[in-house]
């Protein structure tokens, strides 16, 4: 395989120090190939933004290496880093346009930094306005544009840098579904036409499905899994992956394939002991490792009500032991679920 354009190795990021230390990223290893659209998905707080900001070093990693286009970003001097950033475009959820400049002048901004003569810059900006389909808005100020239009201008602005890579941090999260689709189309189009590598950060499965070729799943700062979108969506291997792909619960068939969860039982609590002690005593007293697949219980004055689905190992004797143990508890009923479908 060709040399990846982005390679993150052993990337770790901690915020704060002492007691308040937050590990936002733990030992992340990702390779992103030239020309692909790579997705990073995870729940809120998973560390997605931190990850993408480590790529252009808006956030300096605590440890690990970030190589973009052959350059070790963490080793660059401030000046070299600024130079390197000029080939990494970034768009944001909040658009971040310059409010006191017209659409055209926003697009001219990076060219101004690069010292391009005004005439050439304006000509190029007009071309880019065509590409993002907003030629009629060149003299509008951002306050006069809709969210989708603002994001188009922001995209045109990064394209003015002639970037190798485009980083999108929740670029469509503030937009309605139709506008989201339009912007995603535009990003896809740019990727195809200009060969720009795109990294898409999102918490929406739809966005990944729509345009990404490969995806990484982040979970509490850990890389839960990576793979092609088809692979990951067809059979997510990690707990986090399953939660994302099946937000309403995992189909029974999939659970069966798991080595340790072959049988499913439903436990109903009718006001007896809370459920944590039950799982713990199952493990300690019976040596049975139960896997909570789903729970809808609530604690009222320390007493549990509701139902819970537990996954048990295939082993017949273990299942029998677990069932017997649970039956012996007060105010708990249990039954095996022969064919569990969500």
Ligand X SMILES: Nc1ncnc2c1ncn2[C@@H]1O[C@H](COP(=O)(O)OP(=O)(O)OP(=O)(O)O)[C@@H](O)[C@H]1O
Residues in contact with another protein by the rule CB under 8 A: 56, 58, 82-86, 88-90, 92, 94, 96-102, 109-110, 112-113, 141-144, 154, 158, 161, 167
CB under 8 Å, gap of 24 or more: what pairs does 206-211 form?
206/180, 207/39, 207/172, 207/180, 208/39, 208/41, 209/233, 210/181, 210/184, 211/37, 211/39, 211/184, 211/187
In the complex with another protein, the residue whose CB is nearer, 168 or 304, is 168
Q: Which does 50 bind (CB under 5 to 8 A by kind): ligand X, Mg ion, another protein, none?
A: ligand X
Quick check: 202 binds Mg ion (CB under 5 A)?
Answer: no
55: which residues sit within 8 A by CB, 6+ positions away? 6, 8, 66, 68, 73, 88, 165, 167, 199
User: Is the sign of the CA dihedral 51, 34, 97, 185 positive or negative?
Assistant: negative
- Shortest distance (Å) from residue 47 CB to ligand X: 4
Which option in Mg ion, another protein, ligand X, none does residue 203 bind, with CB closer than 5 to 8 A by kind?
ligand X
For the chain, report the end-to-end CA distance as a whole number of angstroms. Answer: 40
Q: State the nearest-atom distance from the C-beta of 54 to ligand X, in Å.
A: 9
Residue nearest to Mg ion (CB): 49
Instruction: Report the nearest approach of ligand X to the CB of residue 229 (Å).
Output: 19
Task: Mark residues 198-237: x for contact with ligand X by CB under 6 A, - for none.
Answer: -----x----------------------------------
Instruction: Using CB atoms within 10 Å of the CB of residue 29, give its burial: 0 to 12 exposed, 13 to 18 middle, 19+ buried.
Output: middle
Q: Smaller CB distance to another protein: residue 6 or 282?
A: 6
Taking contact as CB under 6 A, which single stretch among the options 2-10, 15-23, 31-39, 328-336 is the one that binds ligand X?
15-23
By CB under 5 A, what part of segment 274-333 binds Mg ion? none
Q: Does 49 bind Mg ion (CB under 5 A)?
A: yes
């Amino acid at each position: 395989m060709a040399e990846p354009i982005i390679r993150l190795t052993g990337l770790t990021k901690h915020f704060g120090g002492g007691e308040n230390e937050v590990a936002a990223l733990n030992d992340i290893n990702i390779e992103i190939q030239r020309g692909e659209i790579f997705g990073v998905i995870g729940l809120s707080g998973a560390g997605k933004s931190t990850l993408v900001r480590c790529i252009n070093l808006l956030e300096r990693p605590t440890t690990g290496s970030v190589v973009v286009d052959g350059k070790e970003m963490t080793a660059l001097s401030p000046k070299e880093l600024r130079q390197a950033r000029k080939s990494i475009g970034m768009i944001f959820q909040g658009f971040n346009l310059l409010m006191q400049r017209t659409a055209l002048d926003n697009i001219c901004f990076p060219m101004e930094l690069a010292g391009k003569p005004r005439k050439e810059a304006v000509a190029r900006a007009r071309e880019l306005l065509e590409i993002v389909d907003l030629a009629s808005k060149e003299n509008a100020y951002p306050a006069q544009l809709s969210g989708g239009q603002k994001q188009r201008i922001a995209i045109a602005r990064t394209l003015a840098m002639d970037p190798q890579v485009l980083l999108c941090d929740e670029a469509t999260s503030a937009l309605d579904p139709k506008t989201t689709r339009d912007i995603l189309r535009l990003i896809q189009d740019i990727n195809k036409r200009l060969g720009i590598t795109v990294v898409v950060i999102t918490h929406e499965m739809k966005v990944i499905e729509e345009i990404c070729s490969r995806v990484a799943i982040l979970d509490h700062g850990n890389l839960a899994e990576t793979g092609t979108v088809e692979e990951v969506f067809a059979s997510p291997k990690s707990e986090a992956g399953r939660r994302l792909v099946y937000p309403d619960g995992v189909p029974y068939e999939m659970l069966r394939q798991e080595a340790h969860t072959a049988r499913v039982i439903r436990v109903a609590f009718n006001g007896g002991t809370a459920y944590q002690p039950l799982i713990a005593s199952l493990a300690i007293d019976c040596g049975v490792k139960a896997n909570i697949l789903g729970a809808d219980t609530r604690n009222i004055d320390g007493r549990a009500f509701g139902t819970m689905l537990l996954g048990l190992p295939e082993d017949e004797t273990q299942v029998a032991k677990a069932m017997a143990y649970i039956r012996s508890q007060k105010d708990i009923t249990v039954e095996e679920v022969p064919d569990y479908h969500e």
